């Protein structure tokens, strides 16, 4: 079953019919099936974050449709969109988006607190997550008191705590060392398998990408190529490197 159907989505910035129109996405179409773990790769500036924001209904396409649960999300009212986002989608942003006036713990449990879930139930959900991501020691600190990697892990906990059907992650391992990266990727894999959460993850990192079942490469506003994991992980890894060396965009 499809969780998202992306139908000829385009995004342009700038004034129409002037010289300064930038076409970021050019009639992109694809489908995401329930339970898939998809990587999105492409050079810096190729439109990955733009695409993720459109899928998450944080941004609107210039044209085209995003069909989720049988509805074109662009046609939903603001109120319905907000409900749709909190109920169905977990975001892990490139720049964390933690609230500076709240501790990491308060940030993480915010989506549950907003739903009125009781404190004990919240603690039960919180503890395994913060243990898995190794942030139990810094949980009562404020974002400015912890490292970028710790903020990233807290942001991941916040996205995962509601067990959303769809997780949109923008370079979730971008600021993590290899141990924390593995921890986060294993957690995403676990959530994908156990909770059947569908994941779209933008990444520059071939190691992170090799956890996905499929990679979509974005180039010149279009889907340039798709790679499927298959059984041989090493072969998948090598193929990703090959495509990235043509397109550029892997950060070393």
Ligand X SMILES: Nc1ncnc2c1ncn2[C@@H]1O[C@H](COP(=O)(O)OP(=O)(O)OP(=O)(O)O)[C@@H](O)[C@H]1O
**In terms of CB distance, is 45 or 148 closer to ligand X?**
45
Question: Residue 204: CA atoms inside 13 Å, Cβ hemisphere, count?
Answer: 16
Nearest residue to Mg ion, by Cβ distance, number only: 49
If one asks whether residue 50 binds ligand X (CB under 6 A), the answer comes out as: yes
We find the least distance from the C-beta atom of residue 126 to ligand X, in angstroms, to be 30
Helix (H) or strand (E) holding 92: strand 89-92
Q: Which does 45 bind (CB under 5 to 8 A by kind): Mg ion, ligand X, none?
A: ligand X
Report 18-47 residues binding ligand X (CB under 6 A).
Answer: 24, 42, 44-47
If one asks whether residue 219 binds ligand X (CB under 6 A), the answer comes out as: no
**In terms of CB distance, is 50 or 103 closer to Mg ion?**
50
> Which residues have CB under 8 Å from 130's CB, separation 6+?
108, 136, 139, 157
Q: Which stretch binds ligand X (CB under 6 A): 48-56, 76-84, 141-149, 227-235?
A: 48-56
If one asks whether residue 248 binds ligand X (CB under 6 A), the answer comes out as: no
Measuring CA to CA, which residue among 32, 23, 39, 74 is closest to residue 188?
39
Cα 151 off chain centre by = 16
Q: Enter the tokens of residue 60.
A: 């609107």
> Which residues have CB under 8 Å from 53's CB, separation 6+?
59
**In terms of CB distance, is 20 or 78 closer to ligand X?**
20
- 122 vs 112: CA distance, rounded Å: 7
- What is the three-class DSSP state of 94? coil
Q: Enumerate binding residues for Mg ion (CB under 5 A).
A: 49
If one asks whether residue 242 binds ligand X (CB under 6 A), the answer comes out as: no
Q: Which does 90 bind (CB under 5 to 8 A by kind): ligand X, Mg ion, none?
A: none
We find the least distance from the C-beta atom of residue 13 to ligand X, in angstroms, to be 4
We find the least distance from the C-beta atom of residue 45 to ligand X, in angstroms, to be 4
We find the least distance from the C-beta atom of residue 134 to Mg ion, in angstroms, to be 25
> Could you say which of 8, 13, 148, 163 contacts ligand X (CB under 6 A)?
13
Q: Which does 13 bind (CB under 5 to 8 A by kind): ligand X, Mg ion, none?
A: ligand X
Measuring CA to CA, which residue among 100, 198, 70, 118 is closest to residue 109?
118
Measuring CA to CA, which residue among 220, 212, 208 is closest to residue 250?
208
Contact 67, 58 (CB under 8 A): no
We find the least distance from the C-beta atom of residue 190 to Mg ion, in angstroms, to be 25
- 251 vs 241: CA distance, rounded Å: 12
If one asks whether residue 178 binds ligand X (CB under 6 A), the answer comes out as: no
Phi, psi of 143 (to 5 degrees): -50, -40
How many binding residues for ligand X (CB under 6 A)? 10
Residues near ligand X, by CB under 6 A: 13, 24, 42, 44-50
């Amino acid at each position: 079953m499809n969780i998202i159907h992306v139908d000829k989505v385009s995004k342009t910035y700038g004034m129409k019919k002037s010289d300064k129109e930038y076409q970021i996405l050019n009639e992109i179409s694809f489908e995401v099936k329930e339970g898939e773990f998809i990587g999105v790769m492409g050079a810096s500036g190729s439109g990955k974050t733009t695409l993720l924001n459109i899928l998450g209904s944080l941004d609107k396409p210039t044209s085209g449709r995003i069909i989720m649960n049988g509805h074109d999300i662009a046609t939903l009212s603001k109120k319905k969109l907000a409900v749709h986002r909190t109920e169905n989608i977990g975001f892990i942003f490139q720049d964390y988006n933690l609230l500076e006036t709240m501790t990491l713990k308060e940030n993480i449990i915010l989506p549950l607190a907003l739903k009125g879930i009781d404190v004990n139930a919240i603690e039960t959900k919180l503890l395994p997550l913060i243990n898995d991501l190794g942030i139990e020691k810094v949980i009562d600190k404020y974002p400015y008191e912890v490292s970028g990697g710790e903020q990233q892990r807290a942001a991941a906990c916040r996205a995962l705590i509601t067990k959303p059907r769809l997780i949109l992650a923008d370079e979730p391992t971008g600021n993590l060392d290899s141990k924390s990266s593995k921890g986060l990727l294993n957690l995403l894999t676990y959530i994908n398998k156990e909770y059947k959460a569908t994941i779209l993850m933008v990444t520059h990192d071939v190691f992170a990408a090799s956890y996905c079942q499929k990679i979509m490469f974005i180039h010149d506003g279009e889907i340039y190529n798709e790679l499927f994991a298959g059984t041989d992980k090493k072969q998948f890894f090598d193929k990703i490197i090959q495509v990235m060396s043509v397109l550029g965009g892997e950060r070393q």
